């Protein structure tokens, strides 16, 4: 027997037992004639005590950090107990030991507060993975995986694998491609997601499909993205949007329960995309706190149905607001006593290039009932009060106002809202708030190409009441300036995102399942008949053989894990992640290949 117990297992109740342990040497501490060794494995740490006799052996054969050791001995009660360690009441009085393997001195310490920098740890990721902190993350990932599988299995879903070597499925990113040796000059693409396959499975009658699956997207890596990442990918047939929402909020609640012990009993709040943008300036609002927007002024062409409060800005002569397209405000709770220095600093914050505002106006709602603002020259105290009231400010709050072009200002106030919440400690790591955002626009305007692109992907269906608008209107945008007046700008999709604490954790849609509508969709995105057949002939063809109504969703598995684990970074939850430049620094990949491989593929490099 190699080992009788793991290093996390023994307790005081095992006192007197003969045991054999194996693991890695965490620390060696010599005290005169005796030596203590902390032995570590995946399950924990156990203290070994080497007495005088064995110490001589140790002197000849010294142990070092990360040596692999097997030790046999008796479980002893410790005189100096360690309450922080589950095995802290015992130690092993070693009678014999064997060094199973030696280790070079590790380039960083294998402990929670390691001295290793990011690059070094990634280079030696196999050592980094020995650290308790990283291990905990992978354990959590596995727990989320198990919980998702159990739930979906219980609901009759079937895990069906789909291929990795496929033809391009555009989902808005660039494809990774793989040359085919057997078909010189031809390439496979790696799937950006199994989207078309899961839809084909619906046509085939597998009406509840899921897969926890790798997806590949060759994007410029913005912070915290990975070129290969994992999705919980799902599809259902014979469903309406509500069926999907209910099924998958059930899944996320199940994961909360199993992984975090959180009973999320309330129904997940639902909000339209338009309301999310109007009230929070963001399509994935963090609703753990309120601070919703006061729309003081909106441009006429956006949010046509919504009523702004521009009457509050009448007759002030304040040019900045008069000339701005959009004016938005939030009330920061308890900040009325901000000093000049603090408001100046906030003003600088909104002027940073990432935020891009020209300035910041504010109203202090003093606790004595008076109002003081940065625009006192233009606004009577009565007006200030009216605005503050409309923003939902109470005595002691600080109203922050931004003005400028619609898109930029809305994004800026959303960023400012998040920043203030962060400063005020309102983004609590241990609080989880889910939200469904519904009814996204079907199309997005691409300024560069003066054309429509699919906001979700080209397989997403429009709201049934708007199918006619789509079919009967020409997609061509004749007047780029006024694209918002094009009938397509207002078409809403049967698409939904699940948002957790301000992060999009999942997204999906009810799909198009009729050939005619799918063709119209492709055409709207600028694909002529030939291109449609070349790229999606298989799908259009399948829709002619009894495609059922269907829809689905995919969850970002890495992201979900990182949020549940209270971390900002998905890399911490991936065993072998890539760095921000898309490199695996451990393997040193990507790398060049042998000339022989190029020859077999009949590929010649033409590097610029
Ligand atoms: N395939 C989509 C995505 O990866 C998800 C879906 O529509 O189910 O975003």
Residue range 272-311, pLDDT digits in tens: 999 999 999 999 999 999 999 999 999 988 998 999 999 9
Question: Which atom of ligand 1 is closest in space to residue 234's alpha carbon?
Answer: 8
DSSP SS3 for 318: coil
Question: Which atom of ligand 1 is closest in space to residue 509's alpha carbon?
Answer: 7
- pLDDT tens digit sequence for 302-354: 998 999 999 999 988 899 999 999 999 999 999 999 999 999 999 999 999 99
Pocket test for ligand 1, best of 554, 555, 559 (most atoms within 8 A of CB): 554
pLDDT band at residue 169, thresholds of 50, 70 and 90? low
Minimum CA distance residue for ligand 1 atom 7: 508
CB 297 within 8 A of CB 321: yes
User: What fold does the segment set 289-427 form as a domain?
Assistant: Gyrase A; domain 2 (3.30.1360)
pLDDT band at residue 220, thresholds of 50, 70 and 90? confident
pLDDT band at residue 478, thresholds of 50, 70 and 90? confident
The model carries a pTM of 0.94
Per-residue tokens: 154: 């219980």
Pocket test for ligand 1, best of 157, 173, 190, 195 (most atoms within 8 A of CB): 195
**Predicted local confidence at residue 173, as pLDDT:** 85
State the average pLDDT for the chain.
95
What separation in Å is there between the alpha carbon of 241 and the centre of ligand 1? 15
**Predicted local confidence at residue 203, as pLDDT:** 98
pLDDT at 222 over 80: no
pLDDT at 223 over 80: no
- pLDDT tens digit sequence for 23-52: 999 999 999 999 999 999 999 999 999 999
**Predicted local confidence at residue 221, as pLDDT:** 74
424, with CB counted inside 10 A (0-12, 13-18, 19+), is middle
Q: Which DSSP symbol is given to 492?
A: B
Question: Which atom of ligand 1 is closest in space to residue 553's alpha carbon?
Answer: 8
pLDDT band at residue 481, thresholds of 50, 70 and 90? confident
User: What fold does the segment set 12-101 form as a domain?
Assistant: OB fold (Dihydrolipoamide Acetyltransferase, E2P) (2.40.50)
Minimum CA distance residue for ligand 1 atom 1: 195
Distance set, CA 345 to CA 34, 359, 497 (Å): 59, 11, 35
- The domains of the chain are located at 12-101, 289-427, 441-492+514-547
- pLDDT tens digit sequence for 355-404: 999 999 999 999 999 999 999 899 999 999 999 999 999 999 999 999 99
Question: Which atom of ligand 1 is closest in space to residue 198's alpha carbon?
Answer: 8
Name every protein residue with a CB atom under 6 angstroms from any ligand 1 atom: 171, 193, 195, 507-509, 552-554
What separation in Å is there between the alpha carbon of 156 and the centre of ligand 1? 21
Q: Which of left, alpha, beta for 562 (phi over 0: left; psi -120 to 50: alpha)?
A: alpha
Question: Which atom of ligand 1 is closest in space to residue 192's alpha carbon?
Answer: 4
What separation in Å is there between the alpha carbon of 507 and the centre of ligand 1? 6
**Predicted local confidence at residue 175, as pLDDT:** 94
User: CA angle at residue 547 from 544 to 553, to 5 degrees?
Assistant: 135
What separation in Å is there between the alpha carbon of 116 and the centre of ligand 1? 37
Pocket test for ligand 1, best of 233, 455, 458 (most atoms within 8 A of CB): 233
């Amino acid at each position: 027997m190699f080992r009788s117990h793991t290093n996390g297992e023994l307790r005081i109740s095992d006192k007197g037992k003969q045991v054999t342990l194996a693991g890695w040497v965490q620390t060696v501490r010599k005290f005169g004639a005796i030596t203590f060794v902390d032995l570590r494995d995946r399950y924990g740490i156990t203290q070994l005590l080497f007495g005088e006799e064995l110490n001589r052996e140790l002197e000849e054969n010294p142990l070092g950090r990360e040596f692999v050791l097997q030790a046999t001995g008796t479980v002893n009660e410790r005189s100096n107990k360690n309450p922080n360690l589950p095995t802290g009441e015992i130690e092993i009085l070693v009678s014999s030991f064997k060094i199973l393997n030696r280790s070079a001195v590790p380039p960083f310490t294998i402990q929670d507060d390691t001295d290793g920098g990011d690059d070094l740890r990634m280079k030696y990721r196999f050592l980094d993975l020995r650290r308790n902190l990283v291990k905990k993350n992978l354990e959590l990932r596995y727990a989320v995986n198990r919980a998702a599988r159990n739930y979906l299995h219980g609901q009759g879903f079937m895990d069906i694998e789909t291929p990795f070597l496929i033809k391009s499925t555009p989902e808005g990113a660039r494809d990774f491609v793989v040359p085919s040796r057997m078909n010189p000059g031809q390439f496979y693409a790696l799937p950006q997601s199994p989207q078309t396959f899961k839809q084909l499975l619906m046509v085939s009658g597998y009406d509840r499909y899921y897969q926890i699956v790798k997806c590949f997207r060759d994007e410029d890596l913005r912070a915290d993205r990975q070129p290969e990442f994992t999705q919980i990918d799902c599809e259902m047939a014979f469903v309406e949007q509500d069926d999907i929402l209910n099924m998958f909020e059930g899944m996320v609640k199940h994961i909360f329960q199993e992984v975090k012990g959180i009973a999320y009993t309330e129904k997940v709040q639902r909000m339209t995309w338009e309301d999310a943008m109007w009230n929070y300036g963001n399509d994935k609002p963090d609703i753990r706190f309120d601070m919703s927007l006061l729309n003081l002024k909106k441009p006429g062409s956006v949010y046509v149905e919504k009523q702004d409060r521009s009457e509050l800005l009448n007759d002030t002569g304040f040019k900045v607001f008069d000339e701005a397209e959009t004016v938005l405000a939030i009330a920061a709770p308890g900040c009325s006593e901000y000093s000049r220095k603090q408001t100046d600093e906030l003003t600088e914050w909104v002027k940073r290039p990432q935020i891009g505002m020209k300035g910041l106006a504010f109203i202090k709602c003093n606790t004595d009932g008076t109002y003081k603002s940065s625009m006192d020259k233009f606004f009577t105290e009565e007006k200030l009060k009216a605005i503050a009231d409309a923003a939902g400010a109470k005595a002691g709050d600080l109203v922050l106002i931004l003005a400028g072009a619609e898109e930029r200002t809305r994004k800026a106030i959303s960023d400012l809202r998040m920043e203030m919440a962060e400063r005020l400690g309102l983004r609590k790591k241990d609080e989880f708030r889910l939200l469904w955002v519904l009814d996204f626009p079907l199309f997005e305007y691409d300024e560069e190409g003066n054309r429509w692109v699919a906001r979700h992907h080209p397989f997403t269906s429009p709201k049934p009441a708007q199918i006619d608008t789509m079919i009967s209107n020409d997609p061509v945008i004749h007047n780029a300036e006024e694209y918002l007046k094009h009938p397509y700008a207002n078409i809403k999709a049967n698409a939904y995102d699940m948002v957790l604490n301000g992060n999009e954790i999942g997204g999906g849609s009810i799909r198009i399942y009729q050939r005619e509508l799918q063709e119209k969709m492709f055409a709207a995105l600028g694909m002529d008949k030939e291109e449609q057949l070349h790229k999606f002939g298989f799908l259009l063809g399948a829709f002619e053989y009894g495609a059922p109504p269907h829809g689905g969703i995919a969850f970002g598995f890495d992201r979900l894990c990182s949020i549940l684990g209270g971390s900002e970074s998905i890399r911490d939850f991936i065993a072998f992640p890539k760095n921000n430049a898309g490199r695996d620094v451990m393997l040193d990949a990507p790398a060049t290949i042998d000339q022989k491989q190029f020859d077999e593929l009949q590929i010649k490099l033409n590097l610029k």
